[in-house]
A and B are shown apart, each in its own frame.
Chain A
């Protein structure tokens, strides 16, 4: 084994330690709820907590709504920009990157000011209206990831030729999108969807300031009131993210329409 190879392995091992050590520490700590022995008590407490189930269910439903909203906004936009307005691509890319530099607190205060009970569109006046605002906020936060995922998917197919082929067979824009373009970028959309899911599950600021029972505020509440349960919650959340990544890989492999 030469020196270069040893160096590569050393960097790899250091990286693994850097990433895994905190996780192992968190996992180990989450198992110490019972004095002197390892147990799953903290996990049991978390899973049995009705608030955990309610907030998780709420966030999962909201993440599905966010993904639908995101796909409805991003997929036609990215498709249209690629097909008809390629010159606008840098502008659209810049706009989709804005949520990375504008803090969520700005977005949520903007929402509260624009859609409060004394405004023309008083969305914050009802639970459903606030839920919609929350989904819109999440869709904005996930825009950089969703747009890039969809755009990468579109880059991998011959958008213009496939669109024209479908049109020459009598398909209108809706049919082209629904039956030709979206199925061929399904894996890319799924990647974006799971990234969105990960953002929605952990997001705190917008949900807390709109006062909605989401998983993010629940994790913060748990962190400030319990000892071992937050660690268990962190491991569960981490597990969910990994499971999402696994599903992306699995689906990517099963829906491969090209050689190789």
Chain B
């Protein structure tokens, strides 16, 4: 049995459905990210779990027990907010102690737990400071310590890194994950940043228009997106449409040439298909060989690699290559052939 079960959750604000028929099961100690564009319903799901929104339909269960009749304050769910939400009138230590005082723990126990938590987030020396005397990263560490101090059953993270600058964001995401693993606390993390989701999560839920579009490990989501939306949302992607043929193996005949596909590709000959190819899967090849042919329209130097914009019929394909793979005389207007290893062609269902 899953530790947390969200079944058929639905929520509308006025006539607008925000979450539709949402199912998710989290195992104990798992770190799951809800990833999607703004307005896809990920924060609403989180707020329903926290008890700040009431679902219109469905159920939320922890260890088989429904939470719907429990108020937010009774659910034993810790939450970290995007805007930190530290209590401005309290010191760092008082902020961390807040939940412990509400739970009426003995003062000695509170002091011990506060010290442990502040040690864990590396802010032991700042316990007497007020939130306004801390940097954004420090405030978010305090918020994390405060959320986990009462030892909640579940930790909810609502875009906790979005307000921080890039360097701190990277450092803090490693820190959050380390602490989460150390405590083994089941965590639901909301983000719109795919890099954060990919680097931190055990599993990712890609949300679109209130629904879970795909649920899987970061590798599955990145390497085997099942829909055009997921493929387009995670990383950069070229979508190519064509007709399936079987001359000399399974091939996709499309504008600009032919693409070799693995096996039967789960489709019948003559069927029109949409496939997706990552820019790094497209490789320059000899112009007289097999593959797609096109004209280089733009060359972007991006440091570690170079991105080519290649027009193939009506499509413009993005191609990422290392400098060593590029012909020395390649420039805007050059003719180029491109190949893709068959197993790196992704089939899109919708």
Contact = CB atoms under 8 A, between A and B. Distances in A.
Given A164-B85, A168-B50, 14 more contacts: A158-B83, A166-B87, A168-B72, A168-B147, A169-B73, A169-B98, A169-B147, A170-B73, A170-B102, A175-B102, A257-B88, A257-B89, A257-B132, A258-B88
B150 A257 contact: no
30 contacts: A158-B83, A158-B85, A161-B81, A161-B85, A164-B81, A165-B79, A165-B86, A165-B143, A165-B146, A166-B98, A167-B51, A168-B73, A168-B77, A168-B78, A168-B156, A169-B73, A169-B99, A169-B102, A169-B146, A169-B147, A170-B74, A170-B99, A171-B98, A171-B102, A175-B102, A184-B88, A186-B89, A257-B88, A257-B89, A257-B131
B25 to A, nearest CB: 22
Interface in A206-233: none
Nearest to A171: B102
A186 B90 CA distance: 13
A172 B79 contact: no
Contacts of A257: 88-89, 130-132
Contact of B73 (A158, A161, A172, A258): A172
Interface of A: 157-158, 161-162, 164-172, 175, 179-180, 183-184, 186, 255, 257-259
Contacts of A166: 87, 98
A169 B89 contact: no
B52 interface: yes
Interface in B166-181: none
B132 A259 contact: yes
A170 B51 CA distance: 12
Nearest to A184: B89
Interface residues of B, number: 31
Interface string B23-67: 000000000000000000000000000111000000000000000
Contact of B85 (A165, A183, A259): A165
A164 B50 contact: yes
Contacts of A168: 50, 72-73, 75, 77-79, 147, 156
Contacts of B74: 170
A183 B78 CA distance: 23
Contacts of A258: 88, 132
B125 interface: no
Contacts of B302: none
Q: For chain A, what secondary structure do more than half of its interface residues adopt (helix, strand, loop), or is it mixed? A: helix
Contacts of B50: 164, 168
A165 B50 CA distance: 10
A172 B73 CA distance: 6
B103 interface: yes
Contact of B88 (A157, A171, A172): A157
A174 B130 CA distance: 24
A162 B156 CA distance: 16
Contacts of A259: 132
Nearest to B74: A170
Nearest to A255: B89
B89 A164 contact: no
B52 to A, nearest CB: 6
Nearest to B143: A165
A65 B183 CA distance: 50
Nearest to B98: A169
Contact of B87 (A164, A167, A170, A184): A184
Contacts of A171: 73, 98, 102
